[in-house]
Structure 1
Amino acid sequence: MTSRQLGSPALLLEEISNRWSADREAGAVRYEESQGLWQVLDYGTVAAVLADPLTYSSDLSSLAPTQEDFETFRQGNFVGMDPPDHRRLRALVSQAFTPRVVQGLAPRIEALCARLLDAVADQDRFDLVDALAYPLPIIVIAELLGVPADEHRLFQDWASILFSGDQLGEAPDMADLSRALEAIAPTVREMNGYMLEHIRARRAHPGDDLTSRLIAAEVDGVRLEDQQMVGFVALLLVAGHVTTTALLGNAVLTFDRYPGTNAALRADPGLLPSAIEEVLRWLPPFAELGRRVARPVVLGGHELPADSMLIAHLGAANRDPARFHAPEVFDVTRHPNPHLTFGHGIHFCFGAPLARLEAMIALRLLQERFRSLVVPSYEDVVYQNPAVILGVRQLPVEVARP
């Protein structure tokens, strides 16, 4: 499919994605002097790095700036852990957050989508992010945790601050990260306090929610501590909210930009699952994963010393012609599609099933509700800071109903 001719908005997601191919062609493994880190850009090497946690550690605490309020998050964020801590904590959480729990959310997700779209039923133009992509996953997570409905807005406010990236440039250094952490520390502190109080309330009065199941989870006589559950909730905000918001916005934007895509999906709704996977390949919300080299290793002909920083570029790997046929073509019929957007190995994204389910239901309902849905002006699209996430912050759309 050929991309529609665009105007000149301040930031185009595809301009970023096109850099990945150019970067990979310049060298699959190379040292970035200006940032003091190693870049890995081809599919095979990225997959190998992600599959070897003993050599390429996810624990970046010794390299990243520290902030007291974030230490609570670290205790339950198994994405930043290596075995055996990662295995133990993920096993505990997996007892409560099962595939059955996720699949059981489908009716509620559909009802929420319908309610949110009902709210714009009298509008021919609205912001898709504000109306649907942003509130949907936040409400799902809050309800899942047993948070009262009148407090869901807190989660939305927290997420907007934590993941806005307003304090960062496109290529932040450690000093930038330190300033950003300090800026959002009060929000983190407020969220920590709220969730600790919520967890303690559930310990006293268990309910039928994820928080209560996390409290009851046990492996080999070990249970989750309160601080660990707070960290897992923070992880859910990323895996279950930010990823879904970006995926929905990127899907609507990409379907619009490639003429014929929406018509093809309406003609064959069975293509929607593969279309979602192609959007994930095309625009991975988190296009880079950081790793710490835990021991000296030779990678791509280069000697990497211990404790050096490495960036695995999922976006570049997803465009590798050695792994994908015609990788620069957006193809909703692509199969197979072994993209690395949700990671690889022991750190495969915990929230992937929930993100896929929410995207499937939301995009299907958008097709059913509207005879057409277009982005009338790319000049009005506002993008997220790509240093934090690839996605849109505002996406005005114009709709026509049957």
Structure 2
Amino acid sequence: MSTALPEAWTIHEGQFWLRGEHPENPVEYKPELGTWNVYGHPEALAILSDPATFSSATTRIMPEETLGDMKELTAGNLLQMDPPLHNKMRKLISRAFTPKVVADLEPRIAELTHELLDEAKGRDRLELVADLAYPLPVIVIAELLGVPASDRYLFREWVDRMFESPEQISLTDDSEEAQQRLKKQLAVSHKFIDYLGEHADERRKHPREDLLSKLVLAEVDGERLSRTEIVNFAQVLLIAGHITTTMLLGNTVLCLDLFPEWNERVRADRSLLPPAIEESLRFLSPFSAVARVTNRDVEVAGTTIPADKMVLLWLAAANRDPRAFDEPDTFNPLREDISHTHLAFSRGIHFCIGAPLARLEGRVAVDILLDRYPSLSTIPGEVPTFQPNPGMTGVKTLPLSV
């Protein structure tokens, strides 16, 4: 069965796996960008499982003139940490995402889903991202963190501006244009920092039962976190805590629309919904790529990557690797053990701590969508738009007829 996406849909040109293309080699060096790129599933899995060789502290190899005050944004950033500090910081929030804590959120997620869809009641169309896929997860994570969910429109503006660039990561581009893009991204990050810093300062005076208060009161090796560490940690939670789920929701609904036979089967048998979500994560992986830096010379798939080099792991390409998945360009929720095979939530020590919550939000929200809208479908002539950043694969807008 062909899975070619409609030509009218605009997908970033670098996302070749969406067109059913597979690189001849699982490892490629791009001299114009100064990055090593890994596309294969076994190679990506091995790298993600080896933090001693492949460091997450990627900013350490950036030129000083490029790095600038990005150094300030790495303190407390869980995504930029290696062991042993990563392990200690991750433990600070692990209790906020235990199976019981996540399961107890199901009634609230269902309540929010109904409330958001009620706001669209009476209309003959739904803009899935604006009406549900964005506000639902951002409200959930904002409530957990302890910041006003009513500020979600600010969060969306800031996140959109942070990820608006269509350019791939480059260590060689020192043009004025590249510097301006970086300055704009840093300016937006500082808006987040200022915003979260004010809330952190308030929690120092008046702690509550929320994640932000736990960060303010937490100690690592007997010392409290600095204000910078707290706000950077909180920023990662707020951004990563909703953007993956937003794309998961949009991509799942899109896949069910693209493949009507699966839409019918899932509607008739809701036990197929979780595997359909897992297959959508493989088929359209929200975060297409993650970055690592080599701590030493290392051989990957017969190619030697020198020390102190940027390695981009293209998880979305790995999730289409024919060595790992039969007929990888076919959407098939009945793949065996799919949830433990795809890399959409990463793997190893940086496996997404919010993955159980994202999966729960996806299951609950899509289940309600299917109940409330028996004939939900895309609108002829109104194509979805996609995230412009090549490191992301997800719908930005998805107009639907209800």
* TM surpasses 0.5: yes
Deviates more, 1:43-52 or 1:207-216: 207-216
Aligned mates of 1:155, 1:170 — CA distance in 2: 23
Q: Does 1:104 align with 2:96?
A: no
The 1:353/1:378 distance shift into structure 2, 3 A limit, reads farther
Q: SS of the residue aligned with 1:276?
A: helix
Q: SS of the residue aligned with 1:45?
A: helix
Deviates more, 1:324-333 or 1:257-266: 324-333
Please give the root-mean-square deviation of Cα atoms over the aligned residues, in Å: 2.4
2:319 is matched with which residue?
318
**CA contact 1:73–1:234 (8 Å) conserved in 2:** no
Q: What percentage of aligned pairs have identical amino acids?
A: 41
**CA contact 1:91–1:219 (8 Å) conserved in 2:** no
Kindly state the Cα deviation for residue 353 of structure 1 after the two structures are TM-superposed: 1.6
1:190 is matched with which residue?
191
The amino acid that maps onto 1:277 is: E
The 1:313/1:190 distance shift into structure 2, 3 A limit, reads closer
From 371, 375, 378, give the equivalent of 2:374. Answer: 371
What TM-score do you get using the length of structure 1 for normalisation? 0.90
Structure 1 residues 259-298: Cα deviation after superposition (integer angstroms, max 9, x where no partner): 2111010110001110110000111111111111111112
Kindly state the Cα deviation for residue 105 of structure 1 after the two structures are TM-superposed: 2.1
2:258 is matched with which residue?
257
2:28 is matched with which residue?
30
Q: SS of the residue aligned with 2:313?
A: strand
1:60 is matched with which residue?
58
Q: SS of the residue aligned with 2:59?
A: coil
Aligned mates of 2:183, 2:356 — CA distance in 1: 33
Q: How many residues align?
A: 394
Q: Does 1:352 align with 2:350?
A: no
Aligned mates of 2:345, 2:143 — CA distance in 1: 24
Q: SS of the residue aligned with 1:47?
A: helix
Give unpaired runs (5+ residues) of structure 2. none
1:287 is matched with which residue?
288
Aligned mates of 1:177, 1:93 — CA distance in 2: 35
**CA contact 2:146–2:211 (8 Å) conserved in 1:** yes
1:51 is matched with which residue?
49
Structure 1 residues 69-121: Cα deviation after superposition (integer angstroms, max 9, x where no partner): x4443112111111112112112232445443333322211111111100111
Aligned mates of 1:384, 1:159 — CA distance in 2: 11
The 1:31/1:7 distance shift into structure 2, 3 A limit, reads closer
Q: Write the mapping of 1:201-280 to structure 2, written as runs, cut at 5 A.
A: 201-218=202-219, 221-280=222-281
Kindly state the Cα deviation for residue 152 of structure 1 after the two structures are TM-superposed: 3.7
Aligned mates of 1:178, 1:254 — CA distance in 2: 37
1:330 is matched with which residue?
331
Q: SS of the residue aligned with 2:343?
A: coil
2:385 is matched with which residue?
382
Q: SS of the residue aligned with 2:52?
A: coil
Aligned mates of 2:227, 2:103 — CA distance in 1: 26
**CA contact 2:3–2:329 (8 Å) conserved in 1:** no
Structure 1 residues 33-56: Cα deviation after superposition (integer angstroms, max 9, x where no partner): 332222222211111111111111
Q: SS of the residue aligned with 1:393?
A: strand
The amino acid that maps onto 1:245 is: T
**CA contact 1:239–1:352 (8 Å) conserved in 2:** no
**CA contact 2:289–2:392 (8 Å) conserved in 1:** no
Q: Write the mapping of 1:300-311 to structure 2, written as runs, cut at 5 A.
A: 300-311=301-312
Deviates more, 1:146-155 or 1:35-44: 146-155
Give unpaired runs (5+ residues) of structure 1. none
The 1:351/1:260 distance shift into structure 2, 3 A limit, reads same
The 1:12/1:39 distance shift into structure 2, 3 A limit, reads closer
Aligned mates of 2:193, 2:274 — CA distance in 1: 36
Q: Does 1:392 align with 2:390?
A: no
1:91 is matched with which residue?
91
Kindly state the Cα deviation for residue 6 of structure 1 after the two structures are TM-superposed: 3.2
Kindly state the Cα deviation for residue 220 of structure 1 after the two structures are TM-superposed: 5.0
**CA contact 2:255–2:280 (8 Å) conserved in 1:** yes
From 316, 330, 343, give the equivalent of 2:346. Answer: 343
Q: Does 1:80 align with 2:80?
A: yes
Kindly state the Cα deviation for residue 218 of structure 1 after the two structures are TM-superposed: 4.1
The 1:319/1:153 distance shift into structure 2, 3 A limit, reads closer
